[in-house]
């Protein structure tokens, strides 16, 4: 899967899953434009890793800072214009920017709910619209990848806004597929389960019981790094997936397939007797 002479824009690309995808694309020959909120240590490290591969491939690497959680009327157009001022074209779009800022449902504020949907849903919707218009005008067969989550299909307590936003992403991928596939533009998504990122490490590195519980609920008994998402992402962006449209690939070690992994022994025995 090579991406020579192609340019990728990765929102939320300075750390976690976005950084893994950005680095993998740079390694595979693409020029990359990495979006982040601020130029911190994580952004510098990801930029350096991409620049190393870009120098090997004679491609380019850029970092663009923007807050995509604010008023979209004030952020989307300037952000996209900034990207297009740096590169001749964008061929691959990875809408990875997202955040979990939930409070319990009964305490949820309108402001927090709206911020979640602006970043997790609306920003990707309108950034895709911006580049889709350009692709259609230039007859470019663009490719779009969203980062969803198994939380778009499975619920967790105190994740109401986040879960709803990721469910919206899964639906949006199907709708944008139908809208854009006639123009040769492919739209797909990945739905990671629990992987190690700077956000999840705040819990996993502090509470050994948390990672043990997560492994128990994952058939392959692994909680991998964010790099586990890069291969599927590159496949969906590549020509190998030419006939894959509107799909979501789960990257969760089987977590979403397992109904009841930790049944009490008494109930497990009762169910076995019943099925026999």
Q: pLDDT grade, residue 272 (50/70/90)? A: low
3-state helix, strand, coil in the chain (%, to 5): 55, 15, 35
Contact 117/169 with Cβ under 8 angstroms?
Answer: no
Is the model's pLDDT at 269 over the cut of 80? no
Instruction: Dig out the tokens for 263 from the structure.
Output: 């049944």
CA distances to 63, 65, 150, 193 from 40, rounded to whole Å, are 11, 11, 29, 26
Going by C-alpha positions, the residue among 119, 99, 112 that lies closest to residue 16 is: 99
pLDDT at 57 (0 to 100): 77
- H or E segment to which residue 273 belongs: helix 265-275
- Cα distance between residue 140 and residue 185, in whole Å: 8
Contact 25/229 with Cβ under 8 angstroms?
Answer: no
Percentage of the chain exceeding pLDDT 70: 95
Percentage of the chain exceeding pLDDT 90: 78
pLDDT at 273 (0 to 100): 53
Q: pLDDT grade, residue 162 (50/70/90)? A: very high
pLDDT in tens, 38-78: 999 999 999 999 999 988 778 899 999 999 999 999 999 99
- Identify the residue whose tokens are 């979501």: 248
**Between β-strands 7-11 and 92-95, what pairing exists: parallel, antiparallel or unpaired?**
parallel
pLDDT at 196 (0 to 100): 83
CA distances to 29, 109, 270 from 100, rounded to whole Å, are 32, 14, 39
pLDDT in tens, 119-157: 999 999 999 999 999 999 999 999 999 999 999 999 988
Beta-bridge partners for 189:
146, 248
Higher-pLDDT residue of 28, 258: 28
Going by C-alpha positions, the residue among 203, 200, 190 that lies closest to residue 150 is: 190
Q: Which long-range contacts (CB under 8 A, 24 or more apart) does 133-141 make?
A: 134/84, 134/89, 134/90, 135/183, 135/185, 136/183, 136/185, 138/89, 139/184, 140/89, 140/91, 141/184, 141/185, 141/186
| Greatest extent of the chain over all pairs of C-alpha atoms, in Å | 67
Mean pLDDT over 239-246 rounds to 98
Question: Considering the entire predicted model, what is its pTM?
Answer: 0.92
Query: Rounded to 10 degrees, what is the CA torsion of 196, 33, 191, 16?
Result: 10
Is the model's pLDDT at 26 over the cut of 50? yes
- CATH for 7-275 is 3.40.50.720
Q: pLDDT grade, residue 274 (50/70/90)? A: low
User: What value does the mean pLDDT of the chain take?
Assistant: 92
Domain coordinates in residue numbering, the chain: 7-275
């Amino acid at each position: 899967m090579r991406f020579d002479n192609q340019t990728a824009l990765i929102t939320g690309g300075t750390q976690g899953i976005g950084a893994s995808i950005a680095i993998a694309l740079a390694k595979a020959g693409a020029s990359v434009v990495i979006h982040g909120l601020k130029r911190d240590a994580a952004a510098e490290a990801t930029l350096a890793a991409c620049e190393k591969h870009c120098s090997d491939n004679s491609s380019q690497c850029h970092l663009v800072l923007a807050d995509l959680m604010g008023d979209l009327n004030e952020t989307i157009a300037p952000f996209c214009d900034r990207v297009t001022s740096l590169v001749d074209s964008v061929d691959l779009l990875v809408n990875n920017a997202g955040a979990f800022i939930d409070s319990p449902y009964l305490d949820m504020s309108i402001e927090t709910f709206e911020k979640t949907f602006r970043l997790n849903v609306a920003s990707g919707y309108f950034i895709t619209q911006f580049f889709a218009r350009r692709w259609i005008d230039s007859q470019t067969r663009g490719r779009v990848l969203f980062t969803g989550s198994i939380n778009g299909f499975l619920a967790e307590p105190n994740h109401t806004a986040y879960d709803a936003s990721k469910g919206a992403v899964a639906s949006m991928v199907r709708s944008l597929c139908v809208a854009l596939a006639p123009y040769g533009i492919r739209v797909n998504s990945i739905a990671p389960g629990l992987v190690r990122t700077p956000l999840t490490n705040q819990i996993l590195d502090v509470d050994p019981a948390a990672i043990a519980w997560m492994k128990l609920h994952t058939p392959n008994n692994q909680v991998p790094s964010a790099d586990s998402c890069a291969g599927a992402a590159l496949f969906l962006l590549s020509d190998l997936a030419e006939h894959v449209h509107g799909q979501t690939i789960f990257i969760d070690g089987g977590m979403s397939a397992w109904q009841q992994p930790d049944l009490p022994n008494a109930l497990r025995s009762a169910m076995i007797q019943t099925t026999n």
